[in-house]
Chain A
Amino acid sequence: MATIYQQDQLVEHGNHWIVPLQGKTVTRCLVDHAFGMELWEREGTTTIRIEGDFVVKGHGGEHQLSPACPTALGPALSTLGKAVTLARAYKDGCLTVHFADGSILSVKPDAAYEAWEIAGTGGLRVVCTPGGSLSIWQPKRADDRL
């Protein structure tokens, strides 16, 4: 049975949740009808899938991006190899991911579709549903299963 550590859990802070991505590195970017980032670790892979419009702000300026225009997603590929310092899932449906070089990726909710989702280790899952509500599945702690 896999051990679920406390650091795999979302932590609630007022108007947002801290997503446990700190220190994890983007090891792969994926493009289909969404923009995806994989954060691979030996202990498990976390995926961030963005289906809505999003913004990448960094040293190269601010880029308004959309998975609906995949040929324009170049600036989003700059996240490859970067370590996450902080990720917040706001209760209004916004997601912000801060990287070690100071760049920030942010996504706003979408009225009609899921704007983003995160699938982490141990069953952690966060989905920004149409309209901006969050659906959250926390990993089960080991002591929950005794």
Chain B
Amino acid sequence: MAETILTLAAPSRARTTRRRHDWTPDLLIAPALLAMIFVMGFPLLYLGYMSVHRWSLIGFSPPRFIGLANFAALAGDERFLSSLTRTLYFTALGLASNLPAGLGIALLLDQKFPTRNLLRALLILPMVATPAAMGLVWVVMLDPSLGIVRFLFGLIGIQHPPLWLSNPALVVPTLVFVDAWMWTPMVALICMAGLASLPADPFEAARVDGASAWQRFRFITFPLLTPTLVVAAMLRIMDLLKVIDIVYVMTGGGPGHLSETTNLYNYLVAMSYDKIGYGSTVALVLFALVLLCTGVLVRLRRMAAE
């Protein structure tokens, strides 16, 4: 009987809820939502439209619909596939260097010592500099004849250091190094914020139980900081997959195409080779890749949080 009453009562409550729905919040966010759809949705749709067309800006001929021909061409485009592999390599190297280094710096600066605040201020300097300008500075510093890096190696007895930007095997790691020099501080800042928000109780309890510094890091700090690290990784992955600025400035994708990333290839195809449709296809694939990687990390973060 009681069940019957509840069953009967439920639709009644639902009707009441529907009647009383307050639309004010929806109306308030509607302009922002519309702006988001316009700013983000429209370009994406237009990108999709362009990717199924053949379109040159030279002359007055209109875009010609070619279906999925651009996607088919992409599958056989060796330069694109190499750039994609290289971008993933770049991203993997970047993450492998940024995260441990950023976490290490954060742990160091989380300690109390006299020059801590000064070091924290200095830390953000590479981040605020313009990547293009910093790229040029690094090109000069790494020059094997005129650069200061060669001079510094000379001081420790190495007269002919490696050819950082000319050696096909070293060019990508060198670019990753410069990228890491610029962006590891951001990872460190995120980690410092994460460390500051950790509860003090587990650490005190561990100390009372006689846990060593390593044990405290391994069993308390690291697990509690994992969601923060996932956020840092997510931000870096998005940037690393789209990297173009320092590569364009420092090597232009060279020697040959040996340091060409997918985003740089995308720029060249669309803006330099005048293949707007094909460039849009490259951009769409890169967008899908970034979305996929971000999605995986969001899921990882949820799992870490649970």
* A joins B in a complex: no
Residues of A within 8 A of B (CB): none
Residues of B within 8 A of A (CB): none
